[in-house]
Amino acid sequence: MSAALLLFVSVAAYGTAAFSREPHVVESFPNDLTLEAPKTAGGATAERASPIRMSDRSGSGLEVTPTYYGDFFTNARGGISTNDATRYLGLLDLELIADFERLRWRIPGKLYLLGQTTHGEGLTERFIGDALVHSDIDSFRNITQVGEYWWEFGVLDDDVRFRLGKQDVNTEFIYMETAADFIQSSFELSPAEIIPTYAHQSVAAVTLVRLTTSLQFKFGVWDALAPTGGWGVSDGGTTFVIGELEYGYALGDGALPGTMVIGAARISDGELDGDAFSAVNGLALQIEQMMLRENRDMPEDLQGLSAFAAYYPRSKGAQSLEKAIGDHLAGGVIYRGLIPDRDADVAGAGVSWAELSQGGSNQEAIFELFYKMRITPKLSLQPDLQYISTPSGIYRDAIVVGARYQAEF
């Protein structure tokens, strides 16, 4: 696992999770101008399988949500090998949210717990060899862990909120909702990164500030290199710091919502697998925009065409590791409700490119095409095709085909 993959595709490409596998996004500050997905039964969004809405379906103050993700894919061409290159990979998330006020406890705020376990095998390590990681539920080694545990509370009428505990950086940062259904990791945060994202979440202190109804400031500090499967604490002293300014707006007389984000991140000096690395700095520039809306007079209906783009410039420092990721670009489109009477389905196409330093082409590019079918409010099936140009810059172009299903219980 490369440690020069450390930051900015940590601030970059990679989610979104967990997972498109959709990441767990706590919407602390509802904003009428930010992109919101149409709700399905049970309060989940149509495109995110298990978002944390910090609401209680039962009214008791305690909510438990198991969600299962299953990937069945084959490397049909290129990469490292196509021999026996069909694999199944599964992830089970078990979320628990306790609302202390509704439970009538004398503690402010809410508690969030996330248990995670994986089984099976992905294609990246033995068959594709891609640096950007074909599946965003790939933990590379099967895990069973408490992925997150944190307490969130607000002050000043909830205009300022604090979140303390083991967290995924992709819960609030480096996340584009429009890109949440892509399976390829490089449209969100990669699970290959040894930074505080799946499957290497770690303890952090996060502050979320609502400056206006459309402007938010977010800041977080993490213990950067906590081992997988632990309680999110390391003894290395390496820290990951990130801040973002997020602006929500709407065009077309308010009918076409959009979001712009500018962010900066830094990981301090550290050591990974015996190899030292210097501090790494990165920026994040993101935009999401709804382009076409089928029902402009229905605010709750977001059927139509949306686009996203992101640029993650990165100064990688004097790394001693070979597998460093430099600048990264990603962009794509989705259409919700493309087929008549299939309003919750999502079709998407996207391109992702990253600068590498392993030799060969010294770059990797991804094209992904998918169609996510909402079979029931809690069950979806997603056929997916990925074309991967020069995996890690050194392998043959690969074609990966398969499907993901996800189910809430």
Q: Assign 170 to helix, strand or coil.
A: helix
Residues 6+ apart with CB under 8 A from 223: 196, 202, 203, 204, 232, 233, 234, 238, 239, 240
Report whether pLDDT(5) > 70: no
| Angstrom distance (rounded) from CA 101 to CA 108 | 7
Total of domains in the chain: 1
Report whether pLDDT(6) > 80: no
Question: Residue 274 belongs to what domain range?
Answer: 41-408
- pLDDT score of 277: 78
Q: Classify residue 313: in a domain, yes or no.
A: yes
Amino acid at residue number 306? S
Report whether pLDDT(157) > 50: yes
Q: Classify residue 304: in a domain, yes or no.
A: yes
| Residue with more model confidence, 293 or 315 | 293
pLDDT digits (tens, 9 = 90+) for 308-359: 999 999 876 655 455 667 889 999 999 999 999 999 999 999 999 999 888 8
Residues 6+ apart with CB under 8 A from 155: 161, 162
Q: What CATH number should be reported for the domain holding residue 281?
A: 2.40.160.180
Mean pLDDT calculated for residue range 70-89:
98
| Residue with more model confidence, 215 or 31 | 215
| Angstrom distance (rounded) from CA 282 to CA 366 | 21
Report whether pLDDT(58) > 60: no
Report whether pLDDT(26) > 50: no
Report whether pLDDT(31) > 80: no
Q: Classify residue 23: in a domain, yes or no.
A: no
Report whether pLDDT(232) > 50: yes
Mean pLDDT calculated for residue range 382-392:
97
End-to-end Cα, the chain, rounded Å:
34
The confidence band for 299, taking pLDDT boundaries of 50, 70 and 90, is confident
Q: Classify residue 13: in a domain, yes or no.
A: no
Find out whether 409 and 379 touch, Cβ atoms under 8 Å.
no
Mean pLDDT calculated for residue range 164-178:
93
Q: Classify residue 11: in a domain, yes or no.
A: no
- pLDDT score of 296: 84
Report whether pLDDT(28) > 50: no
Q: Classify residue 266: in a domain, yes or no.
A: yes
Find out whether 199 and 26 touch, Cβ atoms under 8 Å.
no
| Angstrom distance (rounded) from CA 282 to CA 240 | 11
Find out whether 348 and 383 touch, Cβ atoms under 8 Å.
no
Distance of CA 65 to the CA centre of its chain: 19
* Structure tokens given for 259: 């979001």
Report whether pLDDT(63) > 90: yes
Q: For the chain, how big is the Rg over CA atoms in Å?
A: 20
Q: Classify residue 4: in a domain, yes or no.
A: no
- pLDDT score of 400: 98
Nearest CA-CA partner of 19 in 86, 122, 93 = 93
The confidence band for 227, taking pLDDT boundaries of 50, 70 and 90, is confident
Q: Classify residue 155: in a domain, yes or no.
A: yes
